[in-house]
Amino acid sequence: NAGVTQTPKFQVLKTGQSMTLQCAQDMNHNSMYWYRQDPGMGLRLIYYSASEGTTDKGEVPNGYNVSRLNKREFSLRLESAAPSQTSVYFCASMRWGNTGELFFGEGSRLTVL
Amino acid sequence: AQTVTQSQPEMSVQEAETVTLSCTYDTSESNYYLFWYKQPPSRQMILVIRQEAYKQQNATENRFSVNFQKAAKSFSLKISDSQLGDTAMYFCAFDSNYQLIWGAGTKLIIKP
């Protein structure tokens, strides 16, 4: 049982380049989330998808777009990467009725030069 | 605004000792969930323990227990008989409408 799988695990970009972080879960969860984690700060929510077909902005959505491709997959896109987007990104999923128990991927470390 | 505050950026204790991590939060809601998550050096976040606000009894999971003081909006985590594998970042989180609000974390180091 893979749980939540993120790719890539590491990526280095130049300012202005674009990229997509992929996330897939095999637990039949309804809700999926994208967080970023910066040193000395807790997780900050970028976007979330409460259910297939819906997406909503979180605390720090600027510079990002998301797609809930189907129930399993939720991707995060950086259209024009900036050094301020250097961070570790986590995808997570949650089953309805199990409030708050998030299942996380292993994280993706992104560096923007 | 709903916030979660962890006032201890870093703590260290000897193996087998008991350690308490503090967390306070601010909300106007009456029914909610609180969580402690652990992030070991491997980076993957894992749920440690969960508390439902309407339950007065403090949650326990083996060596992990909480001290939930609803009126004071306090939610501390106690780790008994600490082990080397407990070394990790610990995050307190509060559930708000299917989104979690996170504290900044406490780095816990267990020394042999």
Q: How far apart are CA A4 and CA A106, in angstroms?
A: 8
Q: What is the pLDDT of residue B19?
A: 97
Interval B2-38: pLDDT, tens = 889 999 999 999 999 999 999 999 988 888 889 999 9
Whether the bond into A8 is cis, omega within 30 of 0: yes
Q: What is the pLDDT of residue A93?
A: 94
* Res. B94: pLDDT tops 70: yes
Local confidence band at B91 (pLDDT 50, 70, 90 cut-offs)? very high
Tell if the CB–CB gap between B35 and A94 is shorter than 8 Å: no
Q: What is the CA radius of gyration of chain B?
A: 13
User: Who wins on pLDDT, B60 or A39?
Assistant: B60
Q: What is the pLDDT of residue B10?
A: 96
B1 CB neighbour count, 10 Å cutoff: 5
Interval A4-16: pLDDT, tens = 999 999 999 999 9
Tell if the CB–CB gap between B42 and A106 is shorter than 8 Å: yes
User: Who wins on pLDDT, A107 or B96?
Assistant: A107
Considering only CB atoms, which residues of chain A are within 8 Å of chain B? 31, 33, 40-45, 48, 50, 58, 88, 90, 92, 94, 99-102, 104-107
Average model confidence (pLDDT) across chain B: 92
User: Who wins on pLDDT, A81 or B99?
Assistant: A81
Strand partners, B47: B37
Interval B79-90: pLDDT, tens = 999 999 999 999
* Res. A33: pLDDT tops 70: yes
* Res. B98: pLDDT tops 70: no
Q: Which residues contact A107 (CB under 8 A, 6 or more apart)?
A: A6, A9, A37, A88, A89, A90, B43, B44
The winner for highest mean pLDDT among A46-55, B11-20, B96-105 is: B11-20
Q: What is the pLDDT of residue A41?
A: 75
Tell me the shortest Cα–Cα distance from B94 to chain A, in angstroms. 8
